[in-house]
Amino acid sequence: MRYRQAFALTLTLALLMGLAGPGQAQKALKIFMIPKFTGAAYFAATEKGAKDAVAELKGRGVAIDFLYTGPSVANTDEEIRMIDDLVAQKPDAIIISANDAEALVPVAKKAKAAGIKVITYDADVADPTARHWFVNQGTFTLVGAALVDVVAEQAGKNARFAVVSADPGAFNQNSWIAAMKDRVAKKYPAMKLVDIRYGLDKPAESFSVAQDLINKYRGQLDAIIAPTSVALPKVAEAAEQAGLAGKIVVTGLSTPNDMREFVKKGTVKTVVLWNPVDLGYLAIYVAHATITGALKEGMAKQSVQAGRLGTREATAQLNDITAKGPLTLRNVILLGAPFRFTKENIDRFNF
């Protein structure tokens, strides 16, 4: 009788352990990523990076149910609706690129209040208390400085340069220009920004204003910077048509796919951006570290181990330059220095 009771007890314990132990160990984390919109190679690249990180973590025994979804085109109302629907599914974390920094604050706060870890990437929400961390691809200060540094390296520290921007009211572009001016003042006092023109982020207008600059300053302009992916290829095209390919430095922000032809021909030697694959990859590691408690919101002197990217510092406060003056970013993980696409590496990227 005692034997039967002991056997039954042992069997019951074994069954309980079998149900609890492996079940708990295999519980998958739910991480959802919502870009501004899915119909862009740039965001598809962030998705690839995110999936790479998910696969790596799974290889280390971390089960993750990953979902990448968002509006097919940029639509703030649709993005808010989709996030609302996803919050109802109670994920462990959501990773958001905000179409509208102000408009997404309420739904981000709702998710956070529901116990979901809220990470922004690529484009932050206006209120840092609405999310846990912002995975920042590059501060305005770093990007503006990188563009001016390219001009200094290729055209000299006393170069005269112009800018072809987007819209006169475009905050990002105006902030990068403010950072360029700051870099010139502090590091290249002999360099001069002679003109700023606006192509309204339209190809034809960007080409036209680039032609105007070239004609107005012919022989007196060493470089043109275009801090917009629409304008940069049109500036390169204008330089080629004017017979100035290789004679005037053309650089700016754009994607490898848009600039590959110009880089391979030598019209443009360096395109500055960041690597969106790495951005999506880092966002997953930040989400995972926040879920597990390895990253705690608001604490100083933290870092996240981000796989092949190594250690990334988590900063409670980070100062930046914007079009509206100095800005203090809160709870930020910075991807790193802006990435340079050149003839040597541009074929490694497809976005």
Q: What is the pLDDT of residues 139-148, one digit of tens each?
A: 999 999 999 9
Q: Contact, 87 vs 114, CB < 8 A?
A: yes
Average pLDDT, integer, range 126-143: 96
- Among 21-30, 32-41, 221-230, name the one with the lowest average pLDDT: 21-30
Task: Decide which of 13 and 208 is more confident.
Answer: 208
Each residue of 79-127: pLDDT tens digit? 999 999 999 999 999 999 998 889 999 999 999 999 999 999 999 998 9
**What is the dihedral sign for C-alpha 274, 280, 282, 287?**
positive
Beta strands (DSSP E) in the chain are 29-34, 64-68, 93-96, 117-121, 133-136, 160-165, 192-198, 223-226, 249-252, 271-273, 302-305, 311-322, 325-334, 339-341
Q: What is the pLDDT of residue 11?
A: 38
Q: Contact, 275 vs 296, CB < 8 A?
A: no
Instruction: Sketch out the chain's domains with CATH numbers.
Output: 25-138+275-336 (3.40.50.2300), 140-273 (3.40.50.2300)
Instruction: Give the predicted TM-score (pTM) of the model.
Output: 0.81
Taking the C-alpha atoms of residue 165 and residue 196, their distance in angstroms, rounded to an integer, is: 7
Each residue of 66-75: pLDDT tens digit? 999 999 988 9
Q: What is the pLDDT of residue 18?
A: 41
3-state secondary structure of 88: coil
Q: In what order do the strands lie in the sheet with 311-322?
A: 64-68, 29-34, 93-96, 117-121, 133-136, 325-334, 311-322, 302-305
Is residue 5 scored above 60 in pLDDT?
no
What are the residues whose beta carbons fall under 8 Å from the beta carbon of 235, sequence distance 6 or more? 164, 206, 207, 210, 224, 226, 250, 252
Q: Contact, 164 vs 224, CB < 8 A?
A: yes
Taking the C-alpha atoms of residue 142 and residue 320, their distance in angstroms, rounded to an integer, is: 9
Q: How many other β-carbons are positioned within 10 Å of the β-carbon of residue 61? A: 8
Each residue of 253-311: pLDDT tens digit? 999 999 999 999 999 999 999 999 999 999 999 999 999 999 998 788 899 999 999 99
Instruction: Classify residue 257 by its DSSP letter.
Output: H
Find, among 131, 123, 133, 74, the residue nearest to 107 by Cα.
131
Phi–psi pair at 126, nearest 5 degrees: -70, -30
Written as one letter, the residue type at 331 is N
Structure token pair of residue 132: 């846990």
Task: Decide which of 43 and 235 is more confident.
Answer: 235
Q: What is the pLDDT of residue 304?
A: 96
Beta bridge partners of 69: none
Taking the C-alpha atoms of residue 129 and residue 113, their distance in angstroms, rounded to an integer, is: 11
Q: What is the pLDDT of residue 26?
A: 63
What are the residues whose beta carbons fall under 8 Å from the beta carbon of 151, sequence distance 6 or more? 159, 161, 191, 222, 223, 225, 249, 251
Q: What is the pLDDT of residue 25?
A: 54
3-state secondary structure of 281: helix
Q: CA dihedral in degrees (37, 283, 22, 17; nearest 10)?
A: -120
3-state secondary structure of 339: strand
Written as one letter, the residue type at 37 is F
What are the residues whose beta carbons fall under 8 Å from the beta carbon of 42, sequence distance 6 or more? 255, 276, 351
Is residue 2 scored above 70 in pLDDT?
no
Could you tell me the CA-to-CA distances from 159 to 20, 153, 188, 235, 286 in Å, in that order? 68, 10, 9, 18, 41
Strands 249-252 and 223-226: parallel
Is residue 9 scored above 60 in pLDDT?
no
Q: What is the pLDDT of residue 301?
A: 84
Query: What percent of the chain shows pLDDT beyond 90?
Result: 84
Each residue of 142-196: pLDDT tens digit? 999 999 999 999 999 999 999 999 999 888 899 999 999 999 999 999 999 999 9
- Among 2-11, 90-99, 213-222, 311-320, name the one with the lowest average pLDDT: 2-11
Taking the C-alpha atoms of residue 202 and residue 19, their distance in angstroms, rounded to an integer, is: 60
Q: What is the pLDDT of residue 10?
A: 41
Structure token pair of residue 33: 């990523």
Q: What is the pLDDT of residue 300?
A: 80
Task: Decide which of 20 and 268 is more confident.
Answer: 268
